Amino acid sequence: MKRVALVGTGLIGGSIGLALRSRDVEVVGFDTLPERAHEAVELGALDRVVTGPDACAGVDLAVVAVPVNDVVGAATALLDVGVAVVTDVASVKAPVVHGVEAARADAAGRFVGGHPMAGSEQEGVAGAESRLFEGSAWVLTPTPRTDADAFAAVRSLVDLTGGEAVALDPDEHDALVAMVSHVPQLAASTLMDLAAQRGADHRALLRLAAGGFRDMTRIAAADPAIWPDICVSNRDAIVAALDRYLEALEGIRNVVATGERQGLLEVLERARTARRNLPVGATDASDLVELRVPVADRPGVLAEVTTTAGRLGVNITDVEIAHSTEGRAGVLVITTSREGSRELEAALVSAGYHPAISPIT
Amino acid sequence: MKRVALVGTGLIGGSIGLALRSRDVEVVGFDTLPERAHEAVELGALDRVVTGPDACAGVDLAVVAVPVNDVVGAATALLDVGVAVVTDVASVKAPVVHGVEAARADAAGRFVGGHPMAGSEQEGVAGAESRLFEGSAWVLTPTPRTDADAFAAVRSLVDLTGGEAVALDPDEHDALVAMVSHVPQLAASTLMDLAAQRGADHRALLRLAAGGFRDMTRIAAADPAIWPDICVSNRDAIVAALDRYLEALEGIRNVVATGERQGLLEVLERARTARRNLPVGATDASDLVELRVPVADRPGVLAEVTTTAGRLGVNITDVEIAHSTEGRAGVLVITTSREGSRELEAALVSAGYHPAISPIT
């Protein structure tokens, strides 16, 4: 990867620019706010500002890092001028991916939805950091239309930033981030707002906020500007996840009200075990395996195999399709962590594939 | 303060021991688990283990750092053998303070309830840290029966650990910590538990947990053993605070469901401002004022004046009662931060006092 274009140079776009430039990739870009693109140049996140989509035609890959509602427009403009591969970084994926497919059925194979699961309570390009993505999951959402080469290119981009590529179906992604990202944000902001309201009458209250409260409400300090779009785009999944959370909280409220010590302890013990077992990114490179999956070279296989891995929590460290010299057959070669690879193999067997696993030496 | 006794040498007791010993105070103590007291000696948190309350009779002050349900028993045993001043560190204050007053009406003036607002997800004395309390609020809960000398001694203890003493009525303390400590713990553990349950079917889910989710659920990793006691002791306040939280979350759920962008943005903006304005301990010593409040030397004045300060979020950097040479009159001298001192003065005037403020030079 030699040249990448960034459309949108805020916190995430700027961080991608810094990461890529530290790996000797040339990064050009533009922003709806021209001064923000110039700031990105000053901060070292861009080599230079370009005028718009037309000027990006020759890049290897373009990253759309704009608010979720503007992604489809920006991505189709890039596809239309012939950019080889386009990806985005929006927090909601189904409306974006289905939107691009609906708008450009023929070119949609070159668009791969993406969502780096990393953020910051900083704001704008000034808060950009080259190491923002290191060790974090970066979801890619291939569909049956996705080109394997386009997927491999975006996966390489993730690799250059230090992220860990995890493939998921776009709708499944949206349901999962509702639970681990959108509901936590709303829960933290609601708690902070409520405490501040109570604190208006009891100024001591906020002085009592110790480390636990501070940790729990930290995300409430983030820029709220992106949230109305996210909540509208992912409304159904967020409402469903919030309803589950409300139900669980009502349950714990009733446990407290009735003084059931054992019931309370069980929930807290389960939560503690789960929190201590939260996976912490960063696959050990010495512990990788290669999965070779003979496939008919037909659309849909890439998405099916990679999202099966994603559902099992297995990240994709490398991917390529080795085409056979004749006919439409081929082999999808995926590199993954050893952990989970046997379950992935079993899942693929159930789905009718014939995978072979071998360690990487 | 030359010699302090610790009853209970877990994480909080051990941290107090480390802090005091670093300030050249001799610290003796015991624990219901004798091996834990010996571990505290090995870790430098105790000078030596003593046999029990009887062996503490001559100390200047005893700190009871045992589970909330055991505080009244331990504190009365210490008062009975004549310990000059006794305090505790339990997370719930009304049952403890009222319990000691009910059990020992005559000696209760020497007991001052306390609650350092600092913790750790570590466990036991092995997780103790001498700087655990630095810059954190440490609530004291004087009542109309509290001796001014006993209060001043406990305030000095707080000072030696680097904490900031804030005086609050015991019942008010319990209502406020329900909101900033107990509900956040339950909300974090419930979210973690729910996500883990969903993650059992969708292993990718927990791989997507980025910094915001990790911050928000960090307290769920703490030792749950203390929580059943806390939830039973502070049941009514916790249920009331949880009900307010549930109501607020239902509200935000409906805002999301109806797609009200503006309503959502308002909540998130308010929360962000509040989070960014969370007070961050550590009063600048150069910015202190002295409040001199002429008072009849009668019970209740200390509690009323100091908890009025606490309600306003004003911490008590120093306190003494200057008795006049004749009669029952005297002056309560309180050192506080300049910030809030004018409002404290006004509140005291409304309550019928005649305070005078002067800067400390």
DSSP string, B52-74: SGGGGTT-SEEEE-S-GGGHHHH
pLDDT in tens, A341-350: 888 999 999 9
Using the predicted structure, report yes or no on whether residue B153 has a pLDDT greater than 60: yes
Cβ-defined contact of B195 to A274 (cutoff 8 Å): yes
Both tokens assigned to A62: 């373009």
pLDDT for A325 equals 56
pLDDT level of residue A295 (50, 70, 90 thresholds): confident
- What percent of chain B is predicted at pLDDT more than 90? 62
Q: Burial letters for A220-253: b for 16+ Cβ neighbours within 10 Å, e otherwise?
A: bbbbbebbbbbbbbbbebbbebbebbeebbeebb
CATH 3.40.50.720, chain B: domain bounds:
3-168
pLDDT level of residue A37 (50, 70, 90 thresholds): very high
pLDDT for A65 equals 97
Bigger pLDDT: B346 vs A295 = B346
Whether chain B has a CB inside 8 Å of the CB on A188: the answer is yes
CATH 3.30.70.260, chain A: domain bounds:
285-359
| Short-list B159, B107, B169, B153, CA closest to B133 | B159
pLDDT for B212 equals 82
Whether chain B has a CB inside 8 Å of the CB on A219: the answer is yes
Architecture of domain B173-275: Orthogonal Bundle (1.10)
Using the predicted structure, report yes or no on whether residue A157 has a pLDDT greater than 70: yes
Bigger pLDDT: A292 vs A120 = A292
Cβ-defined contact of B208 to A264 (cutoff 8 Å): no
Which residues, 6 or more positions from B187, have their beta carbon under 8 angstroms from its beta carbon?
A187, A191, A216, A249, B245
CATH 1.10.3660.10, chain A: domain bounds:
173-275
| Longest CA pairwise span in chain A (Å) | 77
**Number of Cβ atoms within 10 Å of the Cβ of B94:** 20
Mean pLDDT score, A8-35: 96
pLDDT level of residue A288 (50, 70, 90 thresholds): confident
pLDDT level of residue A285 (50, 70, 90 thresholds): low
pLDDT level of residue B285 (50, 70, 90 thresholds): low
Of A180, A210, A239, which has the smallest distance from its Cβ to B181's Cβ?
Answer: A210
Using the predicted structure, report yes or no on whether residue A226 has a pLDDT greater than 90: no
Cβ-defined contact of B210 to A136 (cutoff 8 Å): yes
Interface of A with B in 18-77 (CB under 8 A): none
Whether chain A has a CB inside 8 Å of the CB on B192: the answer is yes
Fold topology of A3-168: Rossmann fold (3.40.50)
Q: Where are the beta strands (DSSP E) in A164-274?
A: 164-167
Of A228, A259, A274, which has the smallest distance from its Cβ to B235's Cβ?
Answer: A259
Using the predicted structure, report yes or no on whether residue B326 has a pLDDT greater than 80: no
pLDDT for A168 equals 94
pLDDT for B321 equals 75
Alpha-carbon span B46 to B27, nearest angstrom: 5
Interface of A with B in 299-338 (CB under 8 A): 310-313, 315
pLDDT for B361 equals 59
- The whole model's pTM is what? 0.80
Closest residue of chain B to A343, computed from CA coordinates: B203
Mean pLDDT score, B272-301: 74
pLDDT in tens, A234-284: 999 999 999 999 999 999 999 999 999 999 999 999 999 998 888 765 445
Mean pLDDT score, B284-311: 79
Bigger pLDDT: B127 vs B35 = B35
Residues of chain B found within 8 Å of residue A310, distances taken between Cβ atoms: 204
Question: Strands B329-337, B137-141: parallel, antiparallel or unpaired by DSSP?
Answer: unpaired
pLDDT in tens, B8-25: 999 999 999 999 999 999
Distance from CA of A158 to the nearest CA of B (A): 15
| Short-list A339, A15, A352, A318, CA closest to A156 | A318
pLDDT for A316 equals 83
- What percent of chain A is predicted at pLDDT more than 70? 94
Closest residue of chain A to B176, computed from CA coordinates: A205
Using the predicted structure, report yes or no on whether residue A121 has a pLDDT greater than 70: no
Using the predicted structure, report yes or no on whether residue B284 has a pLDDT greater than 60: no
The hierarchical CATH code for the domain B285-359 is: 3.30.70.260
pLDDT for B173 equals 95
**Tokens 């059931």 -> residue:** A260
Q: How far is CA A237 from CA A48, A90, A175, A312, B244, in A?
A: 39, 16, 5, 20, 24
Using the predicted structure, report yes or no on whether residue B89 has a pLDDT greater than 60: yes
Alpha-carbon span A300 to A247, nearest angstrom: 38
Alpha-carbon span B208 to A180, nearest angstrom: 7
pLDDT level of residue B57 (50, 70, 90 thresholds): very high
Cβ-defined contact of A245 to B250 (cutoff 8 Å): no
Bigger pLDDT: B176 vs B208 = B176
Whether chain B has a CB inside 8 Å of the CB on A135: the answer is no
- Best A117, A134, A181, A207 member to test B by mutation, with max B CBs in 10 Å, is A207
| Short-list A187, A146, A144, A30, CA closest to B213 | A187
pLDDT in tens, A59-76: 999 999 999 999 999 999
pLDDT for B201 equals 74
pLDDT level of residue B200 (50, 70, 90 thresholds): confident
Mean pLDDT score, B288-316: 82
Closest residue of chain B to A164, computed from CA coordinates: B207
